[in-house]
Amino acid sequence: MTLPEVLLWKELKSNQLKGYDFDRQRPMDIYIVDFYCKDLNLAIEIDGSDHDLEKDKIRQERLESLGVCFLRFTNREVRYKMDFVLASIVTWMQEHYNE
């Protein structure tokens, strides 16, 4: 895992975020997502400078066609704005699951 993935995993593991269980490096279809919560059908991706935006778009569209929702954050956001990242995830949960 990259440093941003390690940092976010520390916040997501062991049901720490509103009690939801997240998996890391979860295989889905023919792809692997950085983090996934089955109960929310939510994939969380961390985009670094080495990401191929066109391949990411195709991959995300394919998984969305299977019903998976996505949240994407940059390496920089995870490293330097973790409060923003976590608040964004919680806001998404509230908007989609009326928590």
The pLDDT assigned to 53 comes to 78
Third-level CATH fold of 3-92: Endonuclease; Chain A (3.40.960)
One digit per residue, the tens of pLDDT, for the chain of length 99 reads 899 999 999 999 999 999 999 999 999 999 999 999 999 999 999 998 776 778 888 999 999 999 999 999 999 999 999 999 999 999 999 999 764
Rg (alpha carbons) of the chain, rounded to whole number: 13
Domain boundaries, the chain: 3-92
- 5-95-93-68 Cα dihedral, nearest 10 degrees: -70
Tell me what pLDDT residue 51 has.
64
